Structure 1
Amino acid sequence: MPLSGRLRSWAKRLKRDGVTLWFAGRHPSTPWHAKALGAFVVAYALSPIDLVPDFIPVLGYVDDVLLLPGLIWLAIRLIPPAVLADCRARADEWLRERGARPVSRWGAAFVVAVWAAACFGAWRLWSG
């Protein structure tokens, strides 16, 4: 398989696993530590706003290419296999029916809160 095909396949799995974590967070058999990490990852992955905007050279894509896949990989590893299989099936069905991932308003609020805190901290340093 050519590199472009492998990258496309990897991106689809990553998208599916983001939705899988969304379902795993609501599954009663998911351990609390997997839910906690999964909630953070889902809030960030499904947020319509990036924490580091893509127009910033290099750093704009580091979160999309390294940080997010690493966090998704870690969160997936914390979920029991039976729960993971069930949630992946639900995620596949969701993506097949709706064609798009869900959007996290909490994730958008989280990103806005981080940016607001950073701006407030910078203002305090500059004015103080």
Structure 2
Amino acid sequence: MLFPLWIFIPDFIPVLGYLDDVILFPALVSLTVKFIPEDVLKKNRRNAEGIWSGWNAWKWYYMIPVVAVWWIIIGVLVL
């Protein structure tokens, strides 16, 4: 997640650097969920109930380009 506060509190500062990752990110996610209208949330939860039943949601061949790009990156960095 790109967060503007990272400019002022980088991760290499021992405690403050990870404080935004541990506290601010979950707080912002929960705040975002609170702003979603209730009817939209109910409709999408209803649609998502059966998404993992069966093998329809698992399309392993979508991973092929991702794995290929990672192998290329690793190959370039090693060589």
Normalising by structure 1, what TM-score? 0.29
Structure with greater helix share of residues: 1
Computing the radius of gyration over CA atoms, which structure comes out larger, 1 or 2?
2
Higher RCO structure (Cα 8 Å, ≥6 apart)? 1
Q: When the two structures are superposed, what TM-score results if normalisation uses the length of structure 2?
A: 0.43
